[in-house]
């Protein structure tokens, strides 16, 4: 599928992702409720429009990258949402981290009008968004994934299709849960080791080749050693993701003790 690409939601993640699409040669039509966020995209050559529906009207493929389930529902299904102007055969990519069951409901509403959808959340934080090294985790029809893969590979390094609607988000929530638990465990372990008299650099050296090693350990500990505590995200987003995890697990009857 060729032509212009719509992108709504140009925050800490969406802005860099959209810029990487422009750098890859895609012609973007963009919208955000914050005019300041539009400036880098406009300077890069993207077309600015005043609503999500205007973006969908100009494009056959449109991306939603906002923070919450409620925001995604408004952007896609609201009074000025994609659904108002999208045509049969168009493709909506919901790359926001939202409730999996809500994504399925949105997909069903769009399907009534012949519009395809993928839930395709990302992992990698703001550094991955800026560097184009995100993991993109998509759920939805195989043919829709094939129609979106070129966009995903312009924004990410690792691209996965993991099943039907909602499965991309289910996988993202599992990933987030593990990452959050490991971050807390790493912080406690480093303090534990320091209080025991161990050299923090030696802790990193030993654990890096032992069973306690992990991607999160390698991401976090070098920054701890250099006293670099600059966040890659915000606490409100982390809290929102934890709420999504526990709510979805509760619906499935799965206890999450950690």
For the segment 60-107, what is each residue's pLDDT rounded down to a tens digit? 999 999 999 999 999 999 999 999 999 999 999 999 999 999 999 999
- Shared-domain flag, residues 181 and 106: no
The domain total for the chain is 2
User: What gap in Å lies between CA 60 and CA 144, rounded to an integer?
Assistant: 12
Task: Please determine, for residue 233, whether its predicted confidence score (pLDDT) is greater than 80.
Answer: no
Residue 150: what pLDDT? 98
163, 196, 217 - which closes a domain: 163
**201 is annotated as an active-site residue:** no
Residue 82, CB-side half-sphere exposure with 13 Å CA sphere:
38
- Shared-domain flag, residues 127 and 94: yes
Assess if residue 16 is contained within a domain.
yes
Domain of 232, in residue numbers = 170-252
Q: Would you give the distance in Å from CA 80 to the centre of its chain?
A: 23
Residue 40: what pLDDT? 98
Are 64 and 91 a contacting pair, CB within 8 Å?
A: no
Assess if residue 23 is contained within a domain.
yes
Share of the chain above pLDDT 90, in %: 93
Give the helix ranges, DSSP H, for the chain.
Answer: 14-23, 35-44, 52-58, 69-77, 100-111, 125-131, 142-155, 167-195, 200-207, 215-225, 235-252
Pick the closest to residue 51 from 169, 59, 43 (CA basis): 59
- Shared-domain flag, residues 49 and 158: yes
Are 156 and 133 a contacting pair, CB within 8 Å?
A: yes
User: What gap in Å lies between CA 125 and CA 234, rounded to an integer?
Assistant: 10
- Shared-domain flag, residues 22 and 63: yes
User: What gap in Å lies between CA 78 and CA 30, rounded to an integer?
Assistant: 17
Mean per-residue pLDDT for 181-196?
97
Buried b or exposed e, range 4-27, using 16+ CB within 10 angstroms:
bbbbbbbbbbbbbbbbbbbeeebe
Pick the closest to residue 93 from 49, 58, 137 (CA basis): 137
- Shared-domain flag, residues 42 and 10: yes
Lowest-confidence pick of 22-36, 139-153, 229-243: 229-243
Are 200 and 224 a contacting pair, CB within 8 Å?
A: yes
- Shared-domain flag, residues 142 and 69: yes
Task: Please determine, for residue 237, whether its predicted confidence score (pLDDT) is greater than 90.
Answer: no
- Shared-domain flag, residues 66 and 91: yes
148, 163, 178 - which closes a domain: 163
User: Residue 214: which CATH number?
Assistant: 1.10.1040.10
- Shared-domain flag, residues 191 and 225: yes
Are 140 and 119 a contacting pair, CB within 8 Å?
A: yes
Q: How many CB atoms lie within 10 A of CB 140?
A: 28
pLDDT in tens, 22-38: 999 999 999 999 999 99
Residue 1: what pLDDT? 65
User: Residue 92: which CATH number?
Assistant: 3.40.50.720
- Shared-domain flag, residues 42 and 144: yes
Of the residues 172, 195, 201, 250, only one is catalytic, namely: 172
- Shared-domain flag, residues 100 and 203: no
139, 163, 187 - which closes a domain: 163
Mean per-residue pLDDT for 130-159?
98
Mean per-residue pLDDT for 193-198?
98
Share of the chain above pLDDT 70, in %: 99
Assess if residue 257 is contained within a domain.
no
- Shared-domain flag, residues 51 and 146: yes
Q: Is the Cα dihedral 164, 138, 93, 170 positive or negative?
A: positive
């Amino acid at each position: 599928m060729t032509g212009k690409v719509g992108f709504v939601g140009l925050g800490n993640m969406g802005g860099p992702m959209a810029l990487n699409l422009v750098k890859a040669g895609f012609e973007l039509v963009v919208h955000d409720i914050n005019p300041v966020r539009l400036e880098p995209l406009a300077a890069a050559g993207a077309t600015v429009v005043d609503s999500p529906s205007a973006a969908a009207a100009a494009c056959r493929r449109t991306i939603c990258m906002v923070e919450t389930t409620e925001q995604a529902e408004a952007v896609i299904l609201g009074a000025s949402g994609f659904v108002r102007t999208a045509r049969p055969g168009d493709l909506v990519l919901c790359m926001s981290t939202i409730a999996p069951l809500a994504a399925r409901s949105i997909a069903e509403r769009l399907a009534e009008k012949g519009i395809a959808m993928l839930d395709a959340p990302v992992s990698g934080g703001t550094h991955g968004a800026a560097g184009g090294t995100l993991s993109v985790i998509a759920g939805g029809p195989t043919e829709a994934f094939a129609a979106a893969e070129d966009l995903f590979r312009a924004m990410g390094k690792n691209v996965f299709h993991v099943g039907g609607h909602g499965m991309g988000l289910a996988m993202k929530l599992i990933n987030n849960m593990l990452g959050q638990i490991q971050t807390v465990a790493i912080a406690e372990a480093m303090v534990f080791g320091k209080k025991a008299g161990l050299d923090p650099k030696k802790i990193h050296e030993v654990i890096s080749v032992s069973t306690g090693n992990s991607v999160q350990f390698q991401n976090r500990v070098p920054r701890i050693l250099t006293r670099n505590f600059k966040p890659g995200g915000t606490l409100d987003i982390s809290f929102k993701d934890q709420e999504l995890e526990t709510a979805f697990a509760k619906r499935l009857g799965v206890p999450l003790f950690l």
